[in-house]
Amino acid sequence: MALWQVQPKYMLLGGVIGAFITYTVIKAMASLGPAQAVMLIVVSQLLIAYMIEIFGIFGVDKQPFEWRRVLGMAICIGGIILFKWE
């Protein structure tokens, strides 16, 4: 079968990952509200992209770890928690 000849194999996960992302976005919108959900989605994308850069996943050149990037993401997450806190 041509499906199993796909290289690299992680490309076969695109549909599953897309369905998971769609489900989590719907749940986040319902529980957090639109503004907080969008901020959480953006911070999550930044975090995953930064991890890909640090570990050199998918053939990306490895980048050095920088605390200021982690601090920026932590401040954003802290803001989401602060606005959600009652």
What pTM does this model have?
A: 0.73
Cα 79 from Cα 24, distance rounded (Å): 20
Give the side-chain half-sphere CA count within 13 A for 43.
19
Asked, as a colleague might, if the bond just before 34 is cis with ω within 30 of 0, I would say: no
Cα 59 from Cα 71, distance rounded (Å): 26
Tokens of 71: 């601090």
Per-residue confidence (pLDDT) for residue 75, from 0 to 100: 93
Asked, as a colleague might, if the bond just before 64 is cis with ω within 30 of 0, I would say: no
pLDDT digits (tens, 9 = 90+) for 64-76: 999 999 999 999 8
pLDDT digits (tens, 9 = 90+) for 21-55: 899 999 989 988 888 888 888 998 999 999 999 99
The residue type at 79: G
